[in-house]
Structure 1
Amino acid sequence: MNNKQISILGCGWLGFPLAKHLITKGYHIKGSTTSKEKEPILKDAAIQPYVFRLGEKNHEEILKDFVNDSEIIVINFPPKRIPDIVTIYQEQINALLPYIQSTQKVIFVSSTSVYQNTNDWVTEAIENHPEKESGKAVLAVEQLLQSHLKENLTILRLAGLIGYDRVPGRFLAKKKEVANGKAPINVIHQDDCIGLINAIITQNAWGTIINGCADEHPLRETFYILAAEKVGLVPPQFKKSDTVQFKKISNTKSKTLLNYTYKYPDPLTLVT
């Protein structure tokens, strides 16, 4: 097995810059996309491209070659918001599992949507009761992967993704009567997502679950009003009185286990 090769399932908003970063570290990268049009873009970035959709038939040989000889496999694609999302997402991952060898390591890029609102801090140790179907789907896949991969799996639960072309000022601009304005937000910059994955790989931090989230948690109304104003859009209007439901994602484990320092610890610096 080539210990300088990594397969990245999903070379999109996060996977593509992650692949380019790992190439600078000396890794050969196999990257997947569902779009034939993206194949030359991956090639131009020195990524060995694979075009397939998990769950579709007649992709057995492609999947086998995609994971073959890689030390690490990064599973990085979110569930689609479709009916029966919980079942379909598990079926997609099940299509990949037969080709992963017992000696290979896996990073599953998960989501903090697996956590329920507690109106308090949440850590990796809390019992999960996701409230949305997307969170239920992600948690089901976490458990599926854990049952197959054991200590060869690390789960990275990322908060809301921001940075570069994902401009938070556009998310709620012009909206009125927006709920939960007094709730603290949980976000993470793309650079810190990549930094955490790189730290897991370089430090061989396997067999664990890690949250990825900025240190600071400004109020939702403060952040999104400033974000809209920064890009010249009409800021959202929040409800004057509201029942607040929230969770605050603790990133303590990422900083202690990986000795990681966040590049963007305070999201307000991105919108002021």
Structure 2
Amino acid sequence: MKVSIIGLGWIGLPLARLLQEDGYKVVGSTTSSNKVAKLKEEGINALHFSLMPFPQGKGFQELFSSEVLVVNIPPRSKSTDGRFYLEQLKFLQSMVEQSGIQKVIFVSSTGVYPEVAHDEAYREDDVVTEENTGNIIQFKGEGTFRGLKDLTIVRFGGLLGDNRIPGKYVAGKEGVAGHTRVNFIYRNDAARLLHWIIKKELWNETFNGIAPIHTLRKDIYEKNAVDLGLQPPASYAPVKEEVNRLISGDKICQTGFRFDFPDPLDFPYSLAESV
């Protein structure tokens, strides 16, 4: 089977490596023409492909000759109003419809769930609408591909591990929120989860990608400080009597998937830059 990956980035690249090790034929894209040569040296069939929002690049038609397509494009809605992202997806959806692609994995975010705290953990069958979603752009992005026959949506929580270190972002800061519990997933577990869906042919589903243990933020920050020599937060915000906004990752585990790192306290970290 041939798999195309739109976005050979922080998750897409380890996914490509896992698939190739398992005997899949893989082709992927990067928006950096300089990165193409480096990836090819590593044995990854990489193509230059950008959505501006119309498609640009060289030889990118090969991306649409696979059985499976993984759409892994970040919305960057924090720095834009999201309209450009939705236009990108419209062009991509049109290309998919005109191609021989049979199955699509759309990488989304647990940000689509309401931002309000909840007595129970949010699950995939909870109703999310434009009125209650916590991220309207991401929610509309999911809807772009909903007309396809075989579509699986994966909503990842906080993608961390390796050089993405939670404690680094709060080192020395005042008033850090440390009393709530996290919805994190380790980088390679995220790639393994996508690989699992393709291998087990888990289509027409929605899965949350969340490590099963929801550790306290404070514990993670302080362990990062000890393990990596980082400065801990200078102070923490007062503890509030609020319910945690938790996301359940149980559904994917019910298919037989097992996390290598179920507890965010155990995620591997390194201060060295990684690809």
TM over 0.5: yes
Deviation at 1:229, TM superposition (A): 2.6
Unaligned runs of 5+ in 2: 270-275
**Root-mean-square deviation (Å):** 2.1
60 and 172 in structure 1: CA distance in 2 versus 1, 3 angstrom threshold: closer
Deviation at 1:118, TM superposition (A): 2.4
246 and 136 in structure 1: CA distance in 2 versus 1, 3 angstrom threshold: farther
Deviation at 1:89, TM superposition (A): 1.4
Corresponding position of 1:201: 198
Equivalent of residue 34 in structure 2, options 12, 29, 37: 37
TM-score, scaled relative to structure 1: 0.88
Deviation at 1:56, TM superposition (A): 4.2
Name the SS of the counterpart of 1:32 in structure 2. Answer: strand
Contact 2:208 2:247 (C-alpha < 8 Å) held by counterparts = yes
In structure 1, distance between residues paired with 2:167 and 2:185: 15
In structure 1, distance between residues paired with 2:111 and 2:246: 12
Name the SS of the counterpart of 1:46 in structure 2. Answer: coil
In structure 2, distance between residues paired with 1:138 and 1:12: 19
In structure 2, distance between residues paired with 1:39 and 1:271: 27
**CA deviation digits over 1:59-99, x for unaligned, max 9?**
3884433212x0100011211133321x2211101111122
Equivalent of residue 130 in structure 1, options 133, 141, 160: 133
271 and 28 in structure 1: CA distance in 2 versus 1, 3 angstrom threshold: closer
Corresponding position of 1:113: 111
Equivalent of residue 93 in structure 1, options 65, 89, 92: 89
TM-score, scaled relative to structure 2: 0.87
177 and 252 in structure 1: CA distance in 2 versus 1, 3 angstrom threshold: same
Which structure: greater helix fraction? 1
Deviation at 1:139, TM superposition (A): 0.9
User: How many residues matched?
Assistant: 260
Name the SS of the counterpart of 1:52 in structure 2. Answer: strand
* Percent identity of paired positions between Structure 1 and Structure 2: 35
Q: Are positions 1:221 and 2:218 aligned together?
A: yes
Between 1:121-130 and 1:205-214, the stretch displaced more is 121-130
Runs of 4+ in structure 1 off by over 6 angstroms are: none
Deviation at 1:172, TM superposition (A): 1.3
Corresponding position of 2:175: 177
Q: Are positions 1:84 and 2:85 aligned together?
A: no
Contact 1:227 1:271 (C-alpha < 8 Å) held by counterparts = no
Deviation at 1:126, TM superposition (A): 1.3
**CA deviation digits over 1:106-138, x for unaligned, max 9?**
00111111112323311011122333xxx2211
In structure 2, distance between residues paired with 1:231 and 1:141: 37
Corresponding position of 1:7: 4
Corresponding position of 1:145: 145
Please tell me the residue identity of whatever aligns with 1:99: M
Contact 1:9 1:73 (C-alpha < 8 Å) held by counterparts = yes
Q: Are positions 1:55 and 2:58 aligned together?
A: no
Equivalent of residue 259 in structure 2, options 257, 262, 265: 262
Corresponding position of 1:26: 23
Corresponding position of 1:159: 157
In structure 1, distance between residues paired with 2:137 and 2:17: 29
Unaligned runs of 5+ in 1: none
